[in-house]
Amino acid sequence: MKKPDSTELQLGIDTGGTFTDFVLFDGNSLRIHKVLSTPQAPEQAIVQGIRELGLSMDNLRVVHGSTVATNAVLEHKGVPTVYIANRGLGDVLTIGRQARRELYNLQPQLPRPPVPADLCLEVGARMGADGSRISSLSQDDKAALLAAIAAARPTAVAINLLFSFLDDSDERTIEEWLPAELFVSRSSAVLPEYKEYERGIATWLNAWTGPLVDGYLQRLEQQLSPAPLAVMQSSGGTVNADKAGRKAVNLLLSGPAGGLTGARFIGQQLGQSKLLTFDMGGTSTDVALIDGDICLTSEGRIGEWPVAVPMVDMHTIGAGGGSIASIDAGGLLCVGPESAAAVPGPACYGQGGQQATVTDANLVLGRLQPEAFLGGTMVLDRAAAVAAVERIAAPLQLSEEQAAFGIIALANEHMAQALRVISVQRGVDPREYVLVSFGGAGGLHVCALAEALGMSRALVPVHAGVLSALGMLAAARSRQLSRTLTGVLEDFSDARLAEQLQALAMTGTDELLAEGVATTDISTGFSLDLRYRGQSYTLNLPWQGITATTAAFHVLHAQRYGHQLPTPVELVNLRCSLQGATPDISLPEIHSGKPGSTEPVQAVIAGHAATVPVWPRAVLQPEQLIGGPALVTEAVASSWIAEGWQCRVDKVGNLLLEREAVN
């Protein structure tokens, strides 16, 4: 993708639970902006932000990270959806994998079924595991199906038939039978892989949220017209909005994927390929590992549901700046997962919130400066924060400061544990990585989290508070395609597998060409999901030919699980990744001024006898060194440099943190 000329503007927009972030790139410089989110109608905040930025739609390209699908799933607010399966298999989604949440509870509370029983319909067609025809669709099937749908009056339909990844003709026939006004989701189009439960959940999620996403994107496109609109996918690449509406299940991690793309972009600029990231926003914290490239998984989860479509490999917890502090029935302090969200928000926002949050605790401790929040456009109410924290402190017989320290310590421990899940519990030593902090609240906690994991290096990127929006601009057009093909790997030939992989690539190439990506700009990668015969789970390896890929599987299995087996290696899925050219986005260098021309203000920070320097990030100079304790403020975030840490400012304004040696 060519670098835009001076008249073409690119706008990245990330809609979060509390704020909607904007990053504008004009080909030479960046401009950032934030507005409070409007959860009931996210497009309102987007239009407001564009209006406040003074932008015209005539010379604008927009890339957007949407939370519409995510919120619909987490809040159980999808549309009425009918689920169509083979006869006798209508309750597959309800039965699931029979995994118990409480192993020793003899009377567990049953979870709600994804689809009510009266909306689970069945047809008589049946395909065998080898693709052979066992029974066919009949006119009786058609009549019964249409009558049931007319009575149910759904908005969407999910079709999930056995072995549709081998032959999707029955699913296509059913789709042709259905009324045109219904949103139809076929498993053979959403996830043509084995495992009928996971495939069925993905297909149902796509149908359940699809009309909401499609309607939202259509409204947004109308309001942004004639500006073209692309949407970030969960896999870290973008897709045109008119295609994204039909692929809602691929957008469930849209915003967080933008943050990882932004972190990788910054890391590439600094020559750092091993990054441990945490994105702390107002509602939640997302943690992930980047080792050269963003790791994808097909075993992700959203809420209680497995999501088998490719998405960034990320662990999410309910700990953010808006996480509410409370005292449980046993008299212990708790933080999260409930959040004050955008409305009413933390008590210090002055919008009626009464409960203490992590943001209020940081304000009480002085790590947030009331007049510096959002560049001074939103002054925080410290008295309200103190009153909220006092309501926590009094029952615990603590001072406001002690209670605030407790809230921060507990939030830090939640986030540190999440970082251990994504690193230590997978055999990765975090000390070999750089901790990258972003999100509006991340910079206030980065040093404490690095210390908790024994890490000595950290990074707070320039514009860290809007890094997800920046990542939208740095993301390439992409597709992630897959298809189940099972059998002992050595029983296939290199030529047959290459032919099957190229067939996948042709499908993705056609889609990218339709979005205006040049053929010469499309790069393609192939991989296989492999396992030892008899295993249930797979490892994904790059395709290098049968012999080399088999050898690589044995090595990876030994690294991951500590052993190899003298058992045939089985092929499960083919995968193809396609990507267009990476957008040519560059970070402008900060200007050098006279050394010492700007002095920091001094502030009282809890826990420190002497005053602490507060540096506006905008006045920092290239190669400037700042020793902790110190506070760095900016329009979209603040960063706390703890005692024992030193910060170096690089040429574009990134804060490179290093812990002093501990004797």
d(CA 104, CA 653): 54
CA-to-CA separations, 384 to 323, 352, 401, in angstroms, rounded: 16, 10, 14
**What is the value of pTM for the model shown?**
0.86
CA-to-CA separations, 293 to 265, 267, 273, 313, 427, in angstroms, rounded: 10, 10, 8, 11, 18
Query: Which of 342, 338, 343, 348 shows the shortest CA–CA distance to 282?
Result: 342
Peptide bond into 39 cis (omega under 30): no
Strands 655-659, 645-649: pairing kind: antiparallel
Are the CB atoms for 485 and 569 separated by under 8 Å?
no
Q: Which CATH architecture best describes the domain 9-73+214-251?
A: 2-Layer Sandwich (3.30)
Query: 415: Cβ–Cβ under 8 A, 6 or more apart, which residues?
Result: 278, 280, 285, 287, 317, 319, 445, 449
The residue behind tokens 């990844």 is 165
pLDDT value of position 98: 79
What are the tokens at 14?
A: 């990330």
Average pLDDT, rounded, for the chain: 90
Are the CB atoms for 73 and 67 separated by under 8 Å?
no
**What does DSSP assign to residue 477?**
B
pLDDT value of position 597: 54
Are the CB atoms for 648 and 658 separated by under 8 Å?
yes
pLDDT value of position 6: 46
Which residues in the chain are classed under CATH 3.30.420.40?
A: 9-73+214-251
Return the number of other C-beta atoms located less than 10 Å from residue 246's C-beta.
18
Q: Residue 131: what residue type?
A: G
d(CA 189, CA 199): 10
Who has greater pLDDT, 102 or 310?
A: 310
Residues 348-376 have a mean pLDDT of 86
Return the number of other C-beta atoms located less than 10 Å from residue 568's C-beta.
14
Residues 423-446 have a mean pLDDT of 90
What are the tokens at 636?
A: 């979209």
- The CATH number of the structural domain formed by 78-206 is 3.40.50
pLDDT value of position 493: 95
pLDDT value of position 71: 81
Are the CB atoms for 127 and 166 separated by under 8 Å?
yes
pLDDT 10s digits, 270-328: 999 999 999 887 777 889 999 988 989 998 888 789 999 999 998 888 778 888 999 98
Who has greater pLDDT, 254 or 155?
A: 155
Number of residues that make up the chain: 663
